[in-house]
A and B are shown apart, each in its own frame.
Chain A
Amino acid sequence: MLLEIENLTLLYGRIQALHGISLHVNEGEVVALIGANGAGKTTTMRAISGLRPVASGKIIFDGHDVTKVRADLRVIRGIGQAPEGRGVFPGMTVQENLEMGAYSRRDRAGIAQDLAMVFDLFPRLRERQRQAGGTLSGGEQQMLAVGRAMMTRPKLLLLDEPSMGLAPMLIQQIFEIITRINEQGTTVLLVEQNAQQALSRAHRGYVLETGSIVKEGSGQELLHDPAVKEAYLGVA
């Protein structure tokens, strides 16, 4: 098991955002986390990457308890994240953004290799290498956020709504890229509003409702689950 979360609770002041959730991600999987707006998906991701301290519970990554480990050290251990709303550095060029992804790495050859790999996945980014991150279109920023997370050479890639704000053509494309990334050996935990796409590409999935996990199963099981269909797939 690459990631295991046990009974995680998280507070925003007095508001409890996560009510003891447990989930796990196996090595090599794509796992989808779906749920309505405000269910706590982003919160879960931020807890895993360490951007938000948890109130109780455990996060075990790659055999180590990282619950209290600082976010920047979790990156070194292999947790890479493309945050919700992209979070690209607006004043840095595409190239510089990607180099920031490799900030904690020293292996020059490996970095060059990964840069080539990212440009390979997103040829658009290669064309825009010298353009400032802040002037990219929304879709391009999304690609940059995913590419930048890949530059940390993660064992586990956390993607928070990578299809947000993209045109249908691009959504298709970004999901294909996620599949490719996974096939090249990176484990993926994926948060999505686009449940149809996410579940059909995921090995397994979890359904989050107001801070609790209410369902889990294989991607196909959830896709055909009547309750999930009604709530998240827009079919009665």
Chain B
Amino acid sequence: MNTRALSKTDALVKALLVGASSVSVLVVALVLFFLLKEAVPFLSDSGRSTLFSTRWTPVSFQQEVYGILPLLSGSLLVTAIASTIAVPAGIGGAIYIAELAHPIEREILKPVIEVLAGIPSVVLGFFGLVVVAPLVKQVLGLPSGLTALTGALVLALMALPTVISISEDAIRAVPGTYKEASLALGAGELETIFKVVVPAALPGISAAVLLGIGRVIGETMAVMMVTGNAALLTLSPTESIRTITATIAAEMGEVPFGGTHYHALFLLGAILMLSTFSFNMAAMYAIRKAESK
């Protein structure tokens, strides 16, 4: 009697949970479906022949060219540089705050990082324009400060709080008994941090890195404001570039509904989504492989 009642509520709870998780899967599927629905027509359009050209000139008096290569390279370049800065700096900062900082330092640093996390990206864009861009221009002696590097610096600043606070949580969650065991074996404090605590926190740190890089890839406003937005095919950090996100944001408002350009922008969106998706999958696979070792 009792057990039957229990199994009934069990079934109900299970159904609710299955329902909830199906909804999220469904939403992702729907987003992808409509993205693809609007993107696919481009592939049967005459514009498709220009897809791999090195120019993106969707509005032109002569010929419209929808080359995605410069946009891809722009996004890739900015993301790569920003991650190279934000990931080590973020993990290092998290280790410092969690393990080495004096309690007073921690009291100061933590709120500062939280505030940094809360700054709207447009505001960071202003900061990039007014502070970072002139600095990059001056230090590197460039004609313009609106470069891939400037964008990457602003994005790194944006990803940093995410990487720091999630990594720090992960490091602090490592049981103190691991540390005690290591110290009791005669390991030094730094040795213990790097050989025991950080490896034990690695799954959480990886999640922090993924979220941080995810923020970098998806960011639009700030990067649009400080990279100059010239759709150049380049891998030089000191050139102006244009990212996929900035392109979509800048052009979507003015594009005629249902035209080639319109479908091309949806294709860009689909490419963006698929690349973040595969990036996440690859990272997850790498983490799992590292953990099972």
A and B from one complex:
no
A interface residues (Cβ-Cβ under 8 A, vs B): none
